[in-house]
């Protein structure tokens, strides 16, 4: 295990059908294509550190996600075949794609970028990296609890775009670099956080990471 670090943080949106359905009532249409956005590496909050919730911008939602760290590209990293892509996953963990939901809805309705709602300081709480030596990334289960109450249950077999396809698609636009990170999308059950909440992510395979909201 090693503390969280990232070169660039790519995030995948609308990657679980049940989550797409729960956002539909906010007027967020299903995507069809891979939804990609980015967060700055400065948004990372290591496990155990306080999460500074933004004030005055409406509800902050938790989005629990499997997170992968890429490496081993050498001089490659561009136009990777989906069949080759998973071997570049070197480390995995769990993380939170924190989202100012009302602000995101307003930005979407205006056709504006999402950074103000997704890339703020503290928007990427991230567990410790666990080395990944191969195995099935699409058979990982994880749980998100707020104050002990289960809020989200993840099953990566339900992803609309599996991790290998995410890497393949990203590599058509970016030359991927060692240390690049992907937040792979959230399952259903997203909801608001308030100061004082304890949020915990856990997976038998990966570990347990917790944060206190302030």
How many residues interact with Zn ion (rule CB under 5 A)?
3
Closest CA to 167 of 65, 34, 74, 66: 34
Q: Which stretch binds Zn ion (CB under 5 A): 22-30, 31-39, 182-190, 200-208?
A: 182-190
What is the Cα 201 distance to its own chain's centre? 12
Q: How far is the CB of 98 from Zn ion (least distance, A)?
A: 9
Q: Closer to Zn ion at the Cβ: 8 or 178? A: 8
Closest CB 185 distance from Zn ion, rounded Å: 6
Stretch that binds Zn ion, among 39-47, 51-59, 178-186, 190-198 (CB under 5 A): 178-186
Give CA–CA dist 98/43, Å, rounded.
10
- Asked if residue 152 binds Zn ion (CB under 5 A), the reply is no
Q: Which is nearer to Zn ion, 10 or 88 (CB)?
A: 10
The residue of the chain with the least Cβ separation from Zn ion equals 97
Contacts (CB under 5 A) with Zn ion, residues 54-83: 63
Q: Which is nearer to Zn ion, 77 or 185 (CB)?
A: 185
CB of 75 to Zn ion, least distance (A): 31
Which of 69, 104, 186, 203 is the binder for Zn ion (CB under 5 A)? Answer: 186
Contacts of 211 (CB under 8 A, 6+ apart): 45, 47, 48, 49, 50, 51, 96, 125, 198, 199, 200
What backbone phi and psi angles, to 5 degrees, belong to 42?
Answer: -70, -10
- Long-range contacts: 19-27, Cβ < 8 Å, 24+? 19/185, 19/186, 19/187, 19/188, 19/189, 19/190, 20/160, 21/188, 22/188, 22/189, 22/190, 26/101, 26/105, 27/105, 27/108, 27/109
Q: Binding pattern to Zn ion, positions 80-119, x when CB under 5 A?
A: -----------------x----------------------
Q: Which residues bind Zn ion (CB under 5 A)?
A: 63, 97, 186
């Amino acid at each position: 295990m090693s503390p969280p670090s990232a070169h660039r943080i790519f995030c995948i949106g609308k990657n679980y059908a049940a989550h797409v359905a729960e956002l539909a009532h906010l007027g967020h249409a299903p995507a069809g294509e891979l939804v990609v956005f980015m967060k700055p590496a400065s948004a990372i909050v290591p496990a155990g550190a306080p999460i500074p919730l933004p004030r005055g911008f409406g509800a902050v939602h938790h989005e629990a996600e499997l997170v992968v760290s890429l490496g081993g590209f050498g001089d490659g990293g561009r136009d990777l075949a989906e069949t080759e892509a998973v071997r570049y996953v070197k480390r995995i963990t769990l993380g939170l794609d924190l989202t100012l939901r009302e602000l995101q809805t307003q930005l979407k309705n205006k056709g504006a970028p999402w950074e103000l709602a997704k890339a703020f300081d503290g928007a990427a709480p991230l567990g410790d990296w666990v080395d990944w030596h191969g195995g099935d990334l699409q058979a990982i289960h994880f749980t998100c609890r707020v104050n002990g109450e289960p809020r989200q249950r993840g099953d990566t077999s339900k992803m609309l775009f599996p991790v290998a396809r995410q890497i393949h698609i990203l590599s058509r636009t970016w030359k991927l670099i060692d240390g690049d990170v992907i937040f792979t999308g959230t399952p259903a059950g997203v909801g608001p956080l308030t100061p004082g909440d304890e949020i915990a992510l856990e997976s038998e395979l990966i570990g347990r990471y917790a944060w206190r909201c302030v």
